[in-house]
A and B are shown apart, each in its own frame.
Chain A
Amino acid sequence: MDLLARDEEILKTAEGWRRDGKGVALATVVETWGSAPRPVGSNLVIDEEGNFLGSVSGGCVEGAVVAEAIDVIEDGKPKMLEFGVADDTAWKVGLSCGGTIRVYVEKVD
């Protein structure tokens, strides 16, 4: 996993994977509160097998986003996910920095 991948590599990878016929989802940080590890607009691209590039949280919640993204690839409906310290009962993961982030996950079709 390459958390330091640049935006253009992430978006080019998303396009390339889709053109190769893979199911692809794009996750984007759309809102942050408190000390969030990655800024609004940060991207993570995920394929149907769970391969991914980029980062929405610097490693804290990528696993959960990847799992949700695979659902989005299957049913085609975008999802809004929220992660924060208070959410560990819902997601079993959270942000150790104490911030909250909202991540929009959409299928590339």
Chain B
Amino acid sequence: MKLSILSALNTERAARRAVIVVTDVESGVQRLVKAADVANDPLADTLKARLRSGKSGMAETGEGRVFLTVHVPPPRLVAIGAVHISQALAPMARLLGYDVTVVDPRTAFATPERFPDVPLIAEWPDVALPPLNVDHYTAFVALTHDPKIDDPALLHAFERGCFYIGALGSKKTHGRRVDRLKGQGVSDADLARIHAPIGLSIGAISPPEIAVAIMGEITATLRQEPRQSPDARR
């Protein structure tokens, strides 16, 4: 791999832009295709499919047998609510490879003592979320139980096309949430994207168990449903 390709690859990854490296494993000839340039590439169809799946692999192409290294941005987790569950969720998500950010305007909750080493923003969602550049490769969970905080955050998650959106609360609580969001003009399609009650049904009781259920559900969504590239969504 030429240093120039490696360097461009690292630049794209740092900017959270998808990129594919095409390698002829016989000759070693290699090129880097940025997501924005995929449509103009001779292998456009193959590369588009790879961006959607996020999976690297060998491919038979008009150019011969090539290896496609697919780099999609590392997943992120944005948790609304510096609550007990988030205290367990943050280190768990980091272990699973997620960049984690916790948002909670309630300064009694959002303290570095409760969240050592986790980026913590003690602001309301309308202030905290826009600079985060929440994107399709982001899992978004609303955990405060407070509609004043969770509802605007969820609106932001719909708008940004997060691959996973979950909200804490019983079926009854969620029913009320759906009514409120409908009243704000949220579409049925967007409402259907909320995982609620949040997490896999594993009988979780304690906050760490609920965190396991949530990370299990996020993992299932990431790995089992076809991923769409951001340009395919908009």
A11 interfacial contact with B, CB 8 Å: yes
Specify which of B6, B7, B9, B97 lies most central, judged by the most chain A CB atoms within 10 Å of its CB.
Answer: B6
Identify which of B9, B28, B71, B97 contacts A78 (C-beta below 8 A): B28
A7 interfacial contact with B, CB 8 Å: yes
Q: Is the interface of A mostly helix, strand, loop or mixed?
A: mixed
Identify which of B9, B23, B70, B71 contacts A104 (C-beta below 8 A): B23
B201 interfacial contact with A, CB 8 Å: no
A15-B3, A108-B6 as given contacts; A40 in contact with B56, CB under 8 Å: yes
Q: When A and B form their complex, what is the total count of cross-chain residue pairs whose Cβ atoms lie within 8 Å?
A: 60
Q: How large is the interface on B (under 10, 10 to 19, 20 to 34, 35 or more residues)?
A: 20 to 34
A26 interfacial contact with B, CB 8 Å: yes
Q: Which residue of A lies closest to B30 (CB)?
A: A106
Q: Give chain B residues whose Cβ lies under 8 Å from the Cβ of A30.
A: 25, 56-58, 67
B10 interfacial contact with A, CB 8 Å: yes
A8-19: contact bitstring with B at CB < 8 Å (1 yes, 0 no)? Answer: 100110110011
**Tally of A interface residues using CB under 8 Å:** 24
A78 to B24, CA, bound (A): 11
Contact B6 A18 (CB under 8 A): yes
B74 interfacial contact with A, CB 8 Å: yes
A28-B67, A28-B69, A106-B1 as given contacts; A40 in contact with B57, CB under 8 Å: yes
Within 8 A of B (CB), among A30-46: 30-31, 39-41
A40-B57, A104-B23 as given contacts; A12 in contact with B10, CB under 8 Å: yes
A40 to B58, CA, bound (A): 9
Identify which of A7, A18, A41, A104 contacts B74 (C-beta below 8 A): A7
CB of B153 to closest CB in A, whole Å: 27
A68-109: contact bitstring with B at CB < 8 Å (1 yes, 0 no)? Answer: 000000000110100000000000000000000000101111
CB of B136 to closest CB in A, whole Å: 18
Interface residues, chain B, with chain A CB atoms under 8 Å away:
1-3, 6-7, 9-10, 13-14, 23, 25, 28, 55-58, 67, 69-71, 74, 97
Identify 17 residue pairs between A and B in the complex whose beta-carbon atoms are under 8 Å apart, listed by A's number. A6-B74, A15-B3, A15-B6, A19-B3, A26-B1, A26-B6, A28-B69, A30-B67, A31-B58, A39-B56, A40-B56, A78-B25, A80-B25, A104-B25, A106-B28, A108-B1, A108-B2
